[in-house]
Amino acid sequence: MTPGRIERRFADLRAEGRAAFVSFITAGDPNLEQSEAILAGLPGAGVDIIELGMPFTDPMADGPAIQAAGLRALAAGHTLRKTLGMVERFRKTDNDTPIVLMGYYNPIYKYGVEAFLADAVKAGVDGLIIVDLPAEEDAELCEPAVRAGVRFIRLLTPTTDDKRLERVIANCSGFLYYVSVTGITGAAKGALDAVGRARKRFAAKSDLPVVVGFGIRTADAVAEIASVADGAVVGSAIIDRIAKNLGPSGMLSDSGIHDVLAFVGGLASGVHRAKHPVAAGDAR
């Protein structure tokens, strides 16, 4: 597979000696216009890779914060087609920052896999994280996505044993996403030594970068994870910040959007001060 934005970004970060800061927001939260304003501001706030959530009514892996964000977006009339439109407009001013869509299979199935992948590639989507499609169903979406040049990223968990690991990562590309807790998004973060051991275990089976998410909420926590992994993901804490800034009308003011992006910048500072394990000589 020809190196794309994700591979180029990790190569650049490795050369800089630091991990990736990955942010998650829900597309269309609280409405299309304000969600686009936040999306456009993320790279300038220090985000290296953007996860853009596809709103869905039954988000089984998501905690209350991201569930609420999805419902706000759906109530404002957001759709999967509008999510792709957000990416397409983002690409008019930023052709470097990778965007990975995260969500569930039902909206894609309804859209049509072939049509969705064609539109995703045209919009500038780099990867997919589809929570509810197991590796046994790779023919459904994973394999067509890879053929279309869209990376397919899977979740690994503390309960993923070695036998299951080989099956899960068989068709993965882009990076591996380690869920550091056995729970939903927004739960307490996993123990740092356990995260480090998991990263080394995965790295022994795959050359893909290992990014860690779920339960990371502060700059200090981001720095800790960035010291033992190839990247750290923050989602619920950013969504909570959006919710905190919503006015009586359920919308954000300009100052509210500025506050959210300033908060993201503070989280990014955690990655910037962390020493990446590979740069520190912890070779795989």
Query: What is the rounded CA–CA span in Å between residue 108 and residue 134?
Result: 15
Considering 29, 48, 51, 224, which one is annotated as catalytic?
51
Query: What is the rounded CA–CA span in Å between residue 115 and residue 108?
Result: 9
Query: What is the rounded CA–CA span in Å between residue 139 and residue 169?
Result: 14
Query: What is the rounded CA–CA span in Å between residue 188 and residue 270?
Result: 18
Considering 29, 48, 62, 126, which one is annotated as catalytic?
62
Write down the residue that tokens 């927001």 correspond to: 25
62 assigned to active site = yes
33 assigned to active site = no
- Helices within the chain (DSSP H only): 5-16, 32-41, 64-75, 80-90, 105-111, 113-123, 142-148, 162-169, 192-203, 219-226, 236-244, 254-273
* Residue burial 2-29, b: 16+ Cβ < 10 Å; e: rest: eebbbbebbeebbeeebbbbbbbbbbbb
Query: Which residues does the annotation mark as catalytic?
Result: 51, 62
